[in-house]
Amino acid sequence: MSGASGATATERVRAALARIAQVDRPEVFIDLRPDDDLLADAARVDERVAAGEHLPLAGLVAAVKGNIAVAGLPTTAGCPSFADGPAPADATAVARLRDAGAVVLGTTNLDQFATGLVGTRSPYGAVRHATAPDRISGGSSSGSAVAVALGIADLALGTDTAGSGRVPAALHGLVGVKPTRGLVPVTGVVPACRTLDCVSVFADTVALAERVLGVLAGPDGTDPLARTGAAVAVTTGPGVVGVPDTAALGALAPGWATAFERAATDLRAAGVRTVPVDIDPLLAAARLLYDGAFVAERYAAVGTFVSTHPDAVDPVVGGIIRAAGELPAHRYFTDLETLDELRLAAARRLAGLDAVLLPTTTQHPTLAAVRADPVRVNSDLGRFTNFANLLDLAAVAVPAGEVDGLPFGVQLCGPAFSDARLAGLGRLLTGEPAGDRPVRGTGAATVPLAVVGAHLRGQPLNGELTGRGGTFVGTTTTAPEYRLHALSTTPAKPGLERVEQGGSRIEVEVWALPPAGFAELVAALPHPMAIGPVRLADGATVSGFLCEPLALHDARDITTTGGWRRHLAGLAGADPAGAA
């Protein structure tokens, strides 16, 4: 059901409501919007599409974690008495979903105040796993993950401070994107740790998750911690990924070490070069999040409420937050100094890598196991996730098969603003080709287009794509049979040439255009540019920008840079991360 191709928004909302009744899982949602309101929203989306408006998320329904404001619903953060009436306005992320054509169903259950990785710490009931109800769903974004896993929602918003957007994704075979800190504004989100919180995305494919992130990203003028992203430098080709020795991972559930090794093998088979990496600094940083003074930020967020409403708060959550209020200020600065040292050590270990491959979590416990030892089990689940925001890393969790009939997942962690690169690596792991998912709201299947130069995001001709209804799909590379040349044109642009020998992999973005928009682009294309078949790293062939051979005679060969962004960064004498 999720993402059924061609469905109108109205059809998809009706299907979601029927699915909610069918699965009978009342613990998944805290508040659902009235059916009439949902259908009215869907009708408006369908009208906008019929009028020719391009809506990248039209025909999709979304669920929203209960600590993110949805206008007209209480923002409980998993605590009924915390809400101060219906939210007067949407959180920025929710407003952007609606503007893009998604219909928001309601708010989902969570570990109270987003404190937990288990999904059981809620007065609305423990959120059971979608297909193994004796096991946890993972948290704290438990309801959001289960809503997607059950086929109720096409996509869902969570938050991820310590792993809450990745652990439940891994336990359900979903994609969970924890973007670069600050890439998505947190305006309208009840904070857990204000300086570390991220709005995260759940979806059943990398392509959809990345499309949603493209809708959500960018400062809103309100969140003081929002950041403007810049593409980071990437290696030529599928990339270099650090893979730790399984002995360094510590204890894992039976069969998980073998599954992790299999995922590393799959990356290598896809052309990725893997190298050993020491993850000790990452694990040490992870322990700081709860064992150190950084947990005091949770008290700053909701401590006063917790202290004055002891009967309204989950006992485990209350114990964690109240204890955080007793930490002395000097302890924070001591831990901050330790974190600075670990950040430097981590940067040295990760230098030259596009990402680090890790299991997303350590085990899939039963509900009974969590009841018997709630703190220890929860702590163990965050072994590989707690460090990401402290070290300012981006991360994406992707499914990597099953172990004993239950999903197993891995995550890729990389530098800040490497989100698109991580998504490309995630697609290699899942076998998902770039541009494989049609963009809704166009009335027809879209045309994937490989973009190599002046039409990239942030470049001067990108408006020729967005103005024709183009939607960013993801970043990848060509097959190793192309050369790139800097042309003498205004604006500056490169020429991509396919060669029989001496070729290399060149970084490209894949966009999806409505057929009419694609036709307009081709008709208006000036010489010496041309559109022709371009073969991508995963073997797929899509339409892409090429160059007439005549124009290459006096052009400079820039193949060794690996792509247009790195070429521009070299001209500016800047770090490629700053090349927009």
Report the alpha-carbon distance of residue 158 to residue 198 in Å, rounded: 8
Catalytic residue among 164, 200, 418, 543: 164
Residues 6+ apart with CB under 8 A from 8: 42, 46, 49, 59
- CA distances in angstroms from 411 to 83, 165, 203, 277, 280, listed in the order given: 34, 11, 15, 15, 17
Give the helix ranges, DSSP H, for 325-460.
329-350, 367-372, 374-381, 387-390, 419-430
Report the alpha-carbon distance of residue 443 to residue 445 in Å, rounded: 7
**What is the b/e burial string over 339-374, where b = at least 16 CB atoms within 10 angstroms of the residue's CB?**
beebbebbeebbeebbbbbbbbbbbbbebebbeeeb
Report the alpha-carbon distance of residue 438 to residue 512 in Å, rounded: 8
* Contact between residue 515 and residue 527 where contact means Cβ atoms under 8 Å apart: no
Catalytic residue among 2, 122, 140, 142: 140
Side-chain-side CA neighbours of residue 532 (13 Å): 10
Report the alpha-carbon distance of residue 177 to residue 159 in Å, rounded: 10
Catalytic residue among 65, 122, 418, 543: 65
Tell the residue number behind the tokens 């998912």, with chain if given.
437
- CA distances in angstroms from 152 to 8, 22, 105, 354, listed in the order given: 15, 10, 9, 35
* Contact between residue 460 and residue 529 where contact means Cβ atoms under 8 Å apart: no
SS3 label, residue 387: helix
- Is 140 considered catalytic here? yes
Report the alpha-carbon distance of residue 108 to residue 343 in Å, rounded: 34
- Is 137 considered catalytic here? no
Report the alpha-carbon distance of residue 254 to residue 457 in Å, rounded: 44
Q: How many helices (H) and strands (E) does the chain have?
A: 18, 19
* Per-residue tokens: 284: 């040490």
* Contact between residue 107 and residue 73 where contact means Cβ atoms under 8 Å apart: yes
Report the alpha-carbon distance of residue 347 to residue 324 in Å, rounded: 29
* Contact between residue 169 and residue 273 where contact means Cβ atoms under 8 Å apart: no
Active site residues: 65, 140, 164
